[in-house]
Chain A
Amino acid sequence: QLPLQESGPGLVRPSETLSLTCTVSDGSISSSSFYWGWIRQAPGEKLEWIGTLFFGGSTYFNPSLKSRLSMSVDTSKKQLSLTLRSVTASDTAVYYCARLMYDASGYNWPEIWGQGTAVTVSS
């Protein structure tokens, strides 16, 4: 069983809302030892940081996506959720969730990544 597993619709129409979930197979989603992140990679492009979920529920969103983005965690379901509104073709990408380690100063980096889920925005 993969530690992190993303799931999503595969195909979304332009202007609609993209909803993704990431299922965490162990109990680490409830741990204060980790943060959680979403990252995406469009075809032929660099990996792009989408946002970070900190322990306690606060978030950081990439300014390029902030106005359209929501992220949440449901510890009872062991799931992370990402919602991206008003999608366009430029949102076509493989979307990854990741568990983040952090150091004593709070600097954090992805320790474990999911396999990714491909999303195409097209009519």
Chain B
Amino acid sequence: GEDVEQSLFLSVREGDSSVINCTYTDSSSTYLYWYKQEPGAGLQLLTYIFSNMDMKQDQRLTVLLNKKDKHLSLRIADTQTGDSAIYFCAETPGYGGSQGNLIFGKGTKLSVKP
């Protein structure tokens, strides 16, 4: 079945790097996404990666994809207190649904300590 797994909590110190990990089960997923949810706000798309890529970098964010192991990670360099939020990993369903028909993990709550 379709399943996306994430650790629930991560705590880092300001200035350190954060690495949030995610595993998924659907090998036919074409896109994988990272969303961020700040307190009281909706989900914000941070970045996405196409399944034929293994890395994508966007400023402080680096996404690594290991398709063989079905493992996705999000690295945040120089983590700031404003990065404190819940980070959701998501994949497109294997039947080729649109970007909105996503399968989400439970979310990783990132706490950044000053």
Partners in one complex: no
